[in-house]
Amino acid sequence: MTTDASAADPALTSDQPAAPLSHRQIVTILTGLMLGMFLAALDQTIVATAIRTIADDLQGLDRQAWVTTAYLITSTIVTPLYGKLSDIYGRKPFFITAISVFVIGSVMCTFADSMIQLAAYRAVQGVGAGGLFSLALAIIGDIVPPMERAKYQGYFLAVFGTSSVLGPVIGGFFAGMSSFLGIAGWRWVFLVNVPIGIVALLVVMRTLHLRHTRLDHRIDWWGAAALSVGLVPLLLVAEQGREWGWSSTDAIICYVVGALGVVAFQAIEWRMGEEALLPIRLFTNKTIGIGSIASTVLGMALFGGIACLPLYLQIVKGATPTQAGLQLLPLTLGIMSGSVISGQTISRTGRYRPFLRAGGPMIAVALFILHWTRYDTALWKLMIVMVLFGMGMGFMMQPLMLAIQAAAERRDMGIATASATFTRQIGGTLGTAVFLSILFSALPERIATRMGQAQGTAEFKAALADPANAAFVQQMKAGGGSGGSSVMKDSSFLSTLDPRLAKPFLQGFADSMDRVFLFASIVMIIGAAIAWTIPQISLRRPAPGEAPVVAE
């Protein structure tokens, strides 16, 4: 039902049930929401596992960050737009739009012939993905009281966990096939989204029925444009800085344009006031302000870890994409365990802060331990650390969102939820671009060092003298001797290379990752300190017009 905005109570959220919903009704609505969220969550894990095969086939392993970063840039920019527009026009039409755009982008990715093309099509996917997470969580915030919200949000994290299990297996299955039904196997990684998306659309249209009270606002299009101008150049230089040079002309242009965009965005948001894309007053709330910073850091750790671990398992440990997916199950187990423990405890006690204070140090410790990972590190040791890493994530992801939603007024539920998702995606985009940039910057030097050490060993000399390796030896001489650039373009040759010759490459890759995880652990220590200061908000739903209560 739509009414005139002047007749609406501004303290009420724009979407709400006509009467309190039963558990069964909520679960029915959840079915549609979870299918939509499953699309985005599954896509991330499928692509993360298959990206090495895709990049090798398209001759661009060193450009893989473009594929992930393009997706994250667009999903990040449109997330607050989805939140604001859904506050005005209702959640359902924009949730349906998000699913539809995501499916269209998936079809486009199927036809990519280069890494740059794939990155462009992933950007289209990201436009849809930006609404899937934030709108699903906002709808739960609309229809479920805060004390019960942790329990129902646990369903979403179960979806995330399930996709973390299924995604790597499905991605590995398709990536490992040369073709299926006449189409290259890895292309099914994207095509598989189509039937899931169609089912999600049907379920959402059938089950998601909420009363909508229109809230008339201006759309902050100028703010959205300024945000794009600020973010895109800065993320671009984070990705390309290692090739351009951090003080090159191109990099400096990006710094200047990005800084101008950020300043313009802040000025526009101040001027727009309540109509702003991200209202400044939201971030003057201590919980939302600190929570947003913590969410950014969490995103960096999450996406940085997910981007690097599958590469290590496939390149260094020689796992197939399917095997790498299964080897990541301890990470999934940790996330699901942490989510279930925190969700059930918060539902009983109403206190989320103990989990925020425990989760950050757990992630930081796990990342620091990972920086000691070497070429010959036992897989079981790595899996133990994955469980710790995942449990820390489970302790932080749900409670952080819950804290931000509890601190927001009802009318701001959509934009507050979107801002939390937005800041996490900003962190994820930065984390992916920066961490992979660090990895590939260090790779040629580390491989060259290991190659120099190996050339003095009898084992390596014997391999060079073996006639079966003559073609590779000639290729190495033509390329300057180290072979680092070869791995960055296409690492598939390592699987067929004489193990004696492959060893320095694998050692160099493993050595390159220590800098990534060390830097990530330092960032997460800062994040843990920030999360420690988040206030405890009472999860009792406030009356209309009543501010959330700080319950120290």
Question: Residue 329's beta-bridge partner residues?
Answer: none
Residue 104 clears pLDDT 80, i.e. is over it? yes
Q: Are residues 307 and 352 in the same domain?
A: yes
Residue 552 belongs to a domain: no
Q: Is the dihedral of CA 509, 512, 518, 524 positive or negative?
A: negative
Cα(168)–Cα(306) distance, integer angstroms: 11
Q: Are residues 382 and 284 in the same domain?
A: yes
Number of domains in the chain: 2
Distance of CA 211 to the CA centre of its chain: 32
- Of residues 399 and 385, the one with the higher pLDDT is 385
pTM of structure: 0.72
pLDDT at 8: 38
Q: Are residues 103 and 243 in the same domain?
A: no
Task: Write down which residue in 230, 261, 277 finishes a domain.
Answer: 277
pLDDT at 544: 47
pLDDT at 22: 64
Q: Which of 173-177, 336-340, 379-383 has the lowest mean pLDDT?
A: 173-177
Mean pLDDT of 416-432: 77
Q: Are residues 310 and 171 in the same domain?
A: yes
pLDDT tens per residue across span 427-441: 877 777 778 778 877
pLDDT at 114: 81
Residue 369 clears pLDDT 90, i.e. is over it? yes
* Residue with token string 């993905």: 129
pLDDT at 2: 38
Q: Are residues 312 and 168 in the same domain?
A: yes
pLDDT at 264: 92
C-beta atoms surrounding 363 within 10 Å? 29
pLDDT at 1: 37
117 closest CA partner among 174, 53, 60, 73: 60
Contacts of 30 (CB under 8 A, 6+ apart): 140, 152, 155
pLDDT band at 346 (very low <50, low <70, confident <90, very high): confident
- Of residues 201 and 437, the one with the higher pLDDT is 201
510 closest CA partner among 443, 444, 448, 464: 443
pLDDT at 164: 63
Cα(49)–Cα(189) distance, integer angstroms: 10
DSSP H helices in 479-498 = 484-489
The enclosing domain of 381 has a CATH number of 1.20.1250.20
Residue 4 belongs to a domain: no
Residue 474 belongs to a domain: no
Mean pLDDT of 82-95: 81
Percent of the chain past pLDDT 70, that is, above it, reads 78
Residue 351 clears pLDDT 90, i.e. is over it? no
Residue 162 clears pLDDT 70, i.e. is over it? no
* Residue with token string 């959509």: 414
Residue 497 belongs to a domain: no
Extract the tokens encoding 28. Answer: 């029915």
pLDDT at 26: 74
Distance of CA 508 to the CA centre of its chain: 27
Residue 316 belongs to a domain: yes
Mean pLDDT of 124-128: 90
Q: Are residues 239 and 176 in the same domain?
A: no
pLDDT at 151: 66
Q: Which domain holds residue 200?
A: 15-212+278-444+513-532
Contact (Cβ atoms closer than 8 angstroms) between residue 252 and residue 379: no
pLDDT at 136: 81
Q: Are residues 342 and 304 in the same domain?
A: yes
Q: Are residues 45 and 156 in the same domain?
A: yes
Cα(509)–Cα(372) distance, integer angstroms: 13
Q: Are residues 95 and 156 in the same domain?
A: yes
Residue 19 clears pLDDT 80, i.e. is over it? no
136 closest CA partner among 16, 204, 34: 34
- Of residues 479 and 516, the one with the higher pLDDT is 516
Contact (Cβ atoms closer than 8 angstroms) between residue 359 and residue 389: no
pLDDT band at 481 (very low <50, low <70, confident <90, very high): low
Residue 486 belongs to a domain: no
Q: Over the chain, what is the mean pLDDT?
A: 77
pLDDT at 212: 58
Most confident listed range (10-19, 44-53, 94-103, 114-123): 94-103
Cα(65)–Cα(71) distance, integer angstroms: 10
C-beta atoms surrounding 17 within 10 Å? 15
Q: Are residues 119 and 177 in the same domain?
A: yes
Distance of CA 254 to the CA centre of its chain: 24
Q: Which of 1-5, 403-407, 527-531 has the lowest mean pLDDT?
A: 1-5
Q: Which of 153-167, 335-349, 476-490, 524-538 has the lowest mean pLDDT?
A: 476-490
Residue 249 clears pLDDT 80, i.e. is over it? yes
DSSP H helices in 312-457 = 321-327, 329-349, 353-370, 379-407, 413-454
* Residue with token string 């070869």: 486
Residue 81 belongs to a domain: yes
Contact (Cβ atoms closer than 8 angstroms) between residue 316 and residue 509: yes
512 closest CA partner among 439, 436, 433, 432: 439
Q: Are residues 351 and 428 in the same domain?
A: yes
Q: Which of 3-17, 26-40, 177-191 has the lowest mean pLDDT?
A: 3-17
Q: Are residues 247 and 359 in the same domain?
A: no
16: left (phi over 0), alpha (psi -120 to 50) or beta: beta
Percent of the chain past pLDDT 90, that is, above it, reads 8
Residue 194 clears pLDDT 50, i.e. is over it? yes
pLDDT at 366: 93
pLDDT tens per residue across span 398-417: 788 888 878 877 667 767 77
- Of residues 276 and 529, the one with the higher pLDDT is 529
Cα(122)–Cα(104) distance, integer angstroms: 10
Q: Strand 15-16 vs strand 211-212: parallel, antiparallel, or unpaired?
A: antiparallel
302 closest CA partner among 386, 368, 393: 393
pLDDT at 21: 61
Task: Write down which residue in 260, 277, 294 finishes a domain.
Answer: 277
Mean pLDDT of 298-325: 77
pLDDT band at 362 (very low <50, low <70, confident <90, very high): very high
**Largest Cα–Cα distance of the chain, in whole Å?**
86
Residue 451 belongs to a domain: no
C-beta atoms surrounding 83 within 10 Å? 29
Cα(252)–Cα(194) distance, integer angstroms: 41
Contact (Cβ atoms closer than 8 angstroms) between residue 444 and residue 485: yes
